Amino acid sequence: MNAQENVLPIEAHRPPARTDRCIGALLVEEGKLTPREVDRVLELQRKETIRFGEAAVRMGFICEDDVRFALAKQYDMPHFTPSSQGPSRELVAAFAPFHPRTEEMRALRTQLLVRWYNPEQGRKSLVVASPDAGEGRSYVAANLAIVFSQLGARTLLVDADMRKPRQHLIFGLPEAHGLSSLLSGRSEHKGTYPVPGMNRLSVLPSGPLPPNPQELLSRPAFATLLRELQLVYDTVIIDTPPAGRFADTQNVAFRAGDAIVVARKNHTAVSSTQKAIRDLASTGARVVGTVVNDY
């Protein structure tokens, strides 16, 4: 198969609304500049024949980060502003779209587009697994969901870790409803929460901690829910509990079909990573790669 056939067909998505406003207007809207300061910057810009952002920085009105955020908004790159309240700073791809770690997430996204993503073959749900706790699994899942949404894909992040969930904490979401509520039939609430500022990203948190997470994930209801979500979203990223401790992850991988394994540098044993890969593969799931996390 030609590798290009796996690449996300961006043209299939509705093009985002154009943002034709100039950087000055965007910075005024964000409260970074006053109209009078804009006039002074424009005067220097005309005099020195330089870019607006460069002139504003030179005059000390704003910093380089302010220019980057304005450019991101102008070119329709959804992101959080530094003043955003609620979400954790772990969401580096949203808070710092030009950070080296964000570029690493984009590189991972590119590899997944080539090696994994193929909606025509039903490959649009991806489990993010790790052998144990503290290896950056939830961090990778959250930021990976963000960079897929920034690409234009309607993206859902599912927290299937009903042991010690973190996605509701990372995104600053309530935990009254979620996956456990839906699978147990305790709620008719849709369970998903759009992420403000990230207009193509939603999160389905784990919900209240149940006494029987493995049984809930083994029921046909989970497979049905996953199929329904795949009809609505272009990409579904699924966070899971530690694969070396609980069989929940194998249940989820069996339903999703594809997985990546996260290992932490100087922390995760090679033998543990190999075992996690074998256990996931034994379910029939395809392990499309391993991510070495250094954070």
The pLDDT, as a whole number, for residue 78 is 67
Least confident piece of the model among 67-81, 145-159, 215-229, 236-250: 67-81
Q: For residues 177 and 184, what is the distance between their CA atoms, to the nearest angstrom?
A: 11
The number of angstroms, rounded, from the C-alpha of 84 to the middle of its chain's C-alpha atoms is 17
Question: Does the structure show a pLDDT above 80 at 135?
Answer: yes
Q: For residues 235 and 123, what is the distance between their CA atoms, to the nearest angstrom?
A: 9
Q: For residues 250 and 264, what is the distance between their CA atoms, to the nearest angstrom?
A: 20
Question: Does the structure show a pLDDT above 60 at 17?
Answer: no
In the three-class reduction of DSSP (H, G, I as helix; E, B as strand; rest coil), residue 190 is classed as coil
Q: For residues 90 and 223, what is the distance between their CA atoms, to the nearest angstrom?
A: 30
| Mean pLDDT estimate for the chain | 88
Minimal CA–CA distance to 234: which of 3, 79, 8, 11?
A: 8
Predicted confidence band of residue 1 (pLDDT cuts 50, 70, 90):
very low
Minimal CA–CA distance to 151: which of 196, 214, 215, 108?
A: 108
Burial (0-12, 13-18, 19+ Cβ within 10 Å), 181: buried
* pLDDT digit string, tens, across residues 233-278: 999 999 999 999 999 999 999 999 999 999 999 999 999 999 999 9
Predicted confidence band of residue 16 (pLDDT cuts 50, 70, 90):
very low
* pLDDT digit string, tens, across residues 188-229: 657 799 998 888 999 999 999 999 999 999 999 999 999 999
- Integer angstrom CA distances of residue 283 from 77, 255, 259: 37, 9, 11
Phi-psi region at 238: left, alpha or beta (left = phi > 0; alpha = psi -120 to 50): beta
Predicted confidence band of residue 82 (pLDDT cuts 50, 70, 90):
low
